Structure 1
Amino acid sequence: MFKFKGIKSSAMFVKCVDEDFKGKSARNYIETSAEGYDGSTIDLLGYQNYSSSLEIILFKPSMLDDVLAWLDGSGKFEYEGRITKAHFLESVSTENKFDRVIMIKTNFVRSPFWYNAYDPKVKVSNFIRNDGNVYAKPLIEMYGQENETVKLTINDISLSYTFDETKGVVIDCAELTETMNGISKSKNLKLDGYSYPILYPGINKVFIEGNADVYVTRKDAWL
């Protein structure tokens, strides 16, 4: 069973023939060859999206219009306690089987990483543990007093934030944004080296200079 756009597959009376949702995405890379040298050097970049086919059995033919509308566009995709973003962008074929069920075939694309679907907010002290198997780009919440400047260092990446009257900020290390109540707080943030923190699998060291409560979500990521 899976969930897409907040709707369970069972609620749509469908079941996958083969739930082929998991799989490792390909890496992007730059390969460089030089005259006189054997082989080449590989510089690793980020991950590509993951693509696969999907075959579904619809047990209630009268739901076909609803299912076709459901499997269209982009949305959150949940499977076995993990969540990602999926896109159903291609054509969908259907085949009626004895007027009792309908076979639906299509393709989907999903983001390269899975995250914890039941993502708890964790208060940060001196370390953060990424329980996944690939680096995570967390969501960081910081709360402090007005005019207070706090420096947060995660591994070897540091940022400084000066609180204003809202006394808080949400830093999205994937989207590279810093907001509070939907308002940009970029002018209050200073990045050392212009990089946002990432969390490697296992233990990540944290150091907080100043008085602030720091929380993270989206700290665990899987391929």
Structure 2
Amino acid sequence: MYQYFIWNGVSSLDMGVVMLKAPSIFIPQRKVNEIKVSGRNGVLHEDEKTYQNYTKDAECHVMDRSQIDEVCGWLTGFGEVIFSSEPDKVYRAYIKNQIEFGSILKNINDFLVQFDVEPFKYSVNAAGDALELTAPTTIRNSGTVYSEPLITVYGSGDITLTINGADFPLYGVQGSITIDSEMMEVFKGNTNQNGKYGGAEFPRFEVGKNEIRWTGNVSKIKIQPRWRWL
């Protein structure tokens, strides 16, 4: 069976492209600053607790050279990529190289695609991971790194959402309000609601168990947890 990748919802097989070699799987590099101190041996290390983008190389082959223009038009820009070697994970990426046919690999129909990917990979089944809570509960993050969820609270008035003992106050809620921890924004529809948010930071789900409770008039809470892996 051919190896393949899916770029922005389109399978390479549908474009007449197969992967000769799937990209390697490895952990992204952590951002650590080296600080040299005069008169001190060695260096100090300052851990920023974040990770760098990295490149995943996909060696490919186009079966029909008449499709090259169509393939080049498809393999461009930003989007999401899924590799057949990791069918349950999706990467956020952009294509960083100018694709050249036959210039790097031996066969004139062969070419290299370089995906510059963000540090984390996400669940392909994001919709299936969604949660709806009507009572306090404990959820489990089965990923390998904390997640930055999208949380919509349905209710009214002043509400305090509590996750793992940390409080995230919401003021004057009218119907619903959404906290996007990844974007660090609070909104309702297209309206910014940052002024109604009193949290010092934004909610996150740590690896393992996470306790969720709240006070105030809440009918339900919908969560897109955005589980992710290194």
Q: Give the structure-2-normalised TM-score.
A: 0.84
| Aligned-partner SS, 1:190 | coil
Corresponding position: 1:150 with 2:159: yes
Which piece of structure 1 moves more, 109-118 or 80-89?
Answer: 80-89
Whether contact under 8 Å (1:33, 1:40) holds in the other structure is: yes
2:130 is matched with 121
Find 2:189's aligned residue among 173, 181, 187. Answer: 181
| Aligned-partner SS, 2:112 | strand
Q: Show the 5 A alignment for 1:46-61.
A: 46-61=50-65
Number of corresponding residues: 215
Unmatched 5+ stretches in structure 1: none
| Whole-angstrom distance in 1 between the partners of 2:108 and 2:178 | 47
| Whole-angstrom distance in 2 between the partners of 1:50 and 1:218 | 24
Per-residue CA shift, 1:74-95, capped at 9, x if unaligned? 0122241212211002211102
Q: Give the structure-1-normalised TM-score.
A: 0.86
Percent identical among aligned pairs is 23
| Whole-angstrom distance in 1 between the partners of 2:214 and 2:42 | 45
| Aligned-partner SS, 1:187 | helix
1:112 is matched with 119
Per-residue CA shift, 1:142-171, capped at 9, x if unaligned? 1113xx111112225321113544x11221
Quote the offset at 1:57 in angstroms. 0.8
1:93 is matched with 100
* Letter of the 1:200 counterpart: E
Per-residue CA shift, 1:66-118, capped at 9, x if unaligned? 1111111101222412122110022111029xxx9821123220111011111
Find 2:202's aligned residue among 184, 196, 201. Answer: 196
| Whole-angstrom distance in 1 between the partners of 2:39 and 2:212 | 45
Whether contact under 8 Å (2:22, 2:57) holds in the other structure is: no
Find 2:225's aligned residue among 215, 218, 223. Answer: 218
Whether contact under 8 Å (1:23, 1:50) holds in the other structure is: no
Unmatched 5+ stretches in structure 2: none
Find 1:70's aligned residue among 65, 69, 74. Answer: 74
Cα 1:219–1:86 change in 2 (3 A) is closer
The RMSD of aligned alpha carbons is 2.2
Quote the offset at 1:24 in angstroms. 1.2
Whether contact under 8 Å (2:62, 2:109) holds in the other structure is: yes
Find 1:17's aligned residue among 17, 20, 35. Answer: 20
| Aligned-partner SS, 1:136 | coil
| Whole-angstrom distance in 1 between the partners of 2:44 and 2:163 | 30
Whether contact under 8 Å (2:91, 2:122) holds in the other structure is: yes
Whether contact under 8 Å (1:84, 1:111) holds in the other structure is: yes
| Whole-angstrom distance in 2 between the partners of 1:141 and 1:21 | 37
Cα 1:159–1:81 change in 2 (3 A) is same
Cα 1:74–1:21 change in 2 (3 A) is farther
| Whole-angstrom distance in 2 between the partners of 1:82 and 1:106 | 19
1:84 is matched with 91
